[in-house]
Chains A and B, each alone.
Chain A
Amino acid sequence: MRHLPIILLCLLSPALLAHEGMHMDMPQEPELGASAAFDSHGRLYVVDAVDGHVRLRQSGDDGRTLGAPVDVNAIAERIYDEGENRPKIAFGPHDEIYVSWSQPRAAPWTGFVRFARSPDHGRHFSPPITVQHDRAEITHRFDALAVDGHGRIVIAWIDKRDMIAAGKAGKPYLGAAVYYSWSDDGGASFVPERKLVDQSCECCRIVLARMPDGEVAAFFRSIYGDNIRDHAFAVLHTDGRPGHAERATYSDWHIAGCPHHGPGLAIGSDGVRHAVWYEAGNGPKIHYGQLDPGHPPRHPLVIATTGASHADVAVHDRTVWVVWNQVGARGYHLMLRRSDDNGAHFDAAREIASSAVAVGSPQLLQKQGHPFVAWNTADGFRLIGMAP
């Protein structure tokens, strides 16, 4: 019986360690939320977040090697960088670098939209500013960033101020609202935000794309009726005209929940709005269609089903590419379908890369019409070239 204390110690230690673990979060690898873009000279820039800093890395050889990282925000802060969240990057008319991200606040689901800029190809960044003028400690997050044809910086985000106001007034309100703002002065300041639409999905990324006339359009998951989570299209006017969001998909997926799945949009020089989106009303599906707001999309096609997620779309002349993550029991496959007739027909799906470790959402990029897929994996950032 004198061995009892030792036996007890051996028996109890796993339980004690397990409890201790509750208070000790291990150091984490960087999350997989990353964005990439080519500047006008074909130089690749990648942003992601590490230890409270958005970091910028550059590549002059199409992603084969990435240069030393530069901190976008000198002072560390919390950054949403996983799932549907990722830092964003866009370029001004003279390759000014614009970066935005969402900053978690203390309470769950809260956030501020943050922005910083570099006039000198990423050597220096301005101190970050908070984009939204409303400073309530509520949701302003899932930022989306684009630059319009006049060089204005447009940022849209998901915002819960109207949901909270409705709750206080005892009125029903589903989801959140989409707000947006823009900068006329190269990102030194942003105009007071305006509401685009009430009752949109609160947990799916918004996609922005430039139209042939230079204006920026938004495509995002909205809510219709009793939690039908279809998508809306709207032009984000920056001349005082109100935005008008119209329903643009009609999949009729009902879910009182978080799809965690935003859509993709690419607008051709002919104005055709190539879109991809996810719904799982009867099993997971990635859809392609050409948006005709107010009506069902044209040329609808189910691109992929079981295991498919997080699609993106790009267009150049009459070539359309759709990529997505396909997960199976053995890991991830990056899949591609291509159309050479402006989206009327697509070839069969084929794998262009695979990963045994976790991956982020694929992002289609173009360098002078040459297509690439940016794919961030737990083993590192990858840029996969495709035939033009």
Chain B
Amino acid sequence: MKRVLVALALLLPGLVRAGTLQPLAASDVATLLKPPAHGERIIALWALDCAYCESNLEGLAALQRTHPRDIELVVVSTDSIDRRQAIGTRLRQMKMDGYPDRAYAEASPERLNFLLDPNWGGETPRVLVIRADGSRLGISGELTPKQLSKIR
């Protein structure tokens, strides 16, 4: 029975996380922006109505795969989590459903934009890099290879 319990303990986080879109509300922002213990957290903001976002996410995912221990990639849809079916479908198409995926769950989405980054006006894609030393970097638009290389 111990084995069953151990297996369950290992399984549960996976069940909750993998392929499950989680809401992002204003009250979650402070935790999301908290500097990681080491390396970088990359918050990749995308929208269903953004044709540039897929290739941007691909680039960030490739960077994360190169530095799996140092980069935490969080994928955030600025569309309402009410559209979870469309968001989930697109995430699977983009093969981004293996990352922590979140979508806006906030009555006032522009307020969430502001809380995440006051220097961001909602244009997508937007990437927010939070470093362990507390510094931040915000970039709008599809990242060039040069910009990607500067993240790490």
Are A15 and B15 closer than 8 Å at their CB atoms? yes
CA distance A280 to B121 in the complex (A): 7
Are A256 and B142 closer than 8 Å at their CB atoms? yes
Selecting from B61-69, B107-115, B128-136, the interface stretch reads B107-115
Are B1 and A4 closer than 8 Å at their CB atoms? yes
CA distance A309 to B126 in the complex (A): 16
Are A257 and B122 closer than 8 Å at their CB atoms? no
Q: What range describes how many residues of B lie at the interface?
A: 35 or more
Expressed in whole angstroms, the minimum distance between the Cβ of B76 and any Cβ of chain A is 15
Interface residues of B in 87-102 (CB under 8 A from A): 88, 90
> Which A residues touch B120, using CB under 8 A?
280, 284
**A-facing mask of B36-59, CB < 8 A → 1, else 0?**
000000000001111111001000
Residue in B21, B83, B111, B122 whose beta carbon sits within 8 Å of that of A329 in the complex: B111
Given A25-B82, A227-B141, A325-B110: A261 and B12 interface contact (C-beta under 8 Å): no
> Which B residues touch A25, using CB under 8 A?
82-85
> Which B residues touch A227, using CB under 8 A?
141
Given A257-B124, A258-B123, A325-B110: A19 and B51 interface contact (C-beta under 8 Å): no
Are A256 and B141 closer than 8 Å at their CB atoms? yes
Given A258-B49, A258-B50, A358-B109: A329 and B141 interface contact (C-beta under 8 Å): no
Assess whether A18 is interfacial by the CB under 8 Å rule: yes
Assess whether B149 is interfacial by the CB under 8 Å rule: no
Closest to B125 in A: A257
Expressed in whole angstroms, the minimum distance between the Cβ of B94 and any Cβ of chain A is 11
Are A23 and B85 closer than 8 Å at their CB atoms? yes
In the complex, which of the residues B82, B84, B108, B120 has the most CB atoms of chain A within 10 Å of its own CB atom? B108
Residue in B48, B114, B142 whose beta carbon sits within 8 Å of that of A328 in the complex: B114
Assess whether A22 is interfacial by the CB under 8 Å rule: yes
CA distance A32 to B110 in the complex (A): 13
CA distance A227 to B142 in the complex (A): 11
Given A284-B121, A356-B108: A257 and B140 interface contact (C-beta under 8 Å): yes
CA distance A22 to B90 in the complex (A): 12
Closest to A19 in B: B20
Expressed in whole angstroms, the minimum distance between the Cβ of A382 and any Cβ of chain B is 15
Are A28 and B82 closer than 8 Å at their CB atoms? yes
Given A15-B12, A22-B20: A203 and B50 interface contact (C-beta under 8 Å): yes
Given A255-B140, A258-B49, A261-B121: A378 and B107 interface contact (C-beta under 8 Å): yes
Assess whether B145 is interfacial by the CB under 8 Å rule: no
Given A4-B1, A22-B85, A227-B141: A109 and B51 interface contact (C-beta under 8 Å): yes
Residue in A8, A254, A284, A309 whose beta carbon sits within 8 Å of that of B119 in the complex: A284
Assess whether A68 is interfacial by the CB under 8 Å rule: no
> Which B residues touch A198, using CB under 8 A?
none
> Which B residues touch A259, using CB under 8 A?
121, 123
Assess whether A297 is interfacial by the CB under 8 Å rule: no
Expressed in whole angstroms, the minimum distance between the Cβ of B114 and any Cβ of chain A is 5
CA distance A19 to B118 in the complex (A): 33
Given A15-B12, A227-B141, A327-B111: A260 and B21 interface contact (C-beta under 8 Å): no
In the complex, which of the residues B21, B51, B118, B120 has the most CB atoms of chain A within 10 Å of its own CB atom? B51
> Which B residues touch A15, using CB under 8 A?
12, 15-16, 20
Assess whether A278 is interfacial by the CB under 8 Å rule: yes
Assess whether B8 is interfacial by the CB under 8 Å rule: yes
Are A309 and B16 closer than 8 Å at their CB atoms? no
CA distance A278 to B8 in the complex (A): 52
Are B141 and A254 closer than 8 Å at their CB atoms? yes
Closest to B85 in A: A25
B residues lining the A interface (CB < 8 Å): 1, 4, 8, 12, 15-16, 19-21, 47-53, 56, 80, 82-85, 88, 90, 107-111, 113-115, 118-126, 140-142
Instruction: Offer 24 A-B interface pairs, CB within 8 angstroms, sorted by A.
Output: A8-B8, A11-B12, A12-B15, A14-B16, A18-B20, A23-B85, A25-B84, A109-B51, A256-B142, A257-B50, A257-B140, A258-B51, A258-B52, A260-B122, A260-B123, A280-B120, A280-B121, A309-B121, A328-B114, A329-B111, A332-B111, A357-B107, A357-B108, A358-B109
Q: A257-B125, A257-B140, A258-B50 are in contact. List 16 more A-B contacts (CB 8 A).
A: A1-B1, A11-B8, A19-B19, A22-B20, A23-B85, A25-B83, A255-B140, A257-B142, A260-B49, A261-B122, A278-B121, A280-B120, A280-B123, A284-B119, A328-B114, A329-B115
A residues lining the B interface (CB < 8 Å): 1, 4, 8, 11-12, 14-15, 18-19, 21-26, 28, 83, 108-109, 202-203, 227, 254-261, 278, 280, 283-284, 306-309, 325, 327-332, 355-359, 378
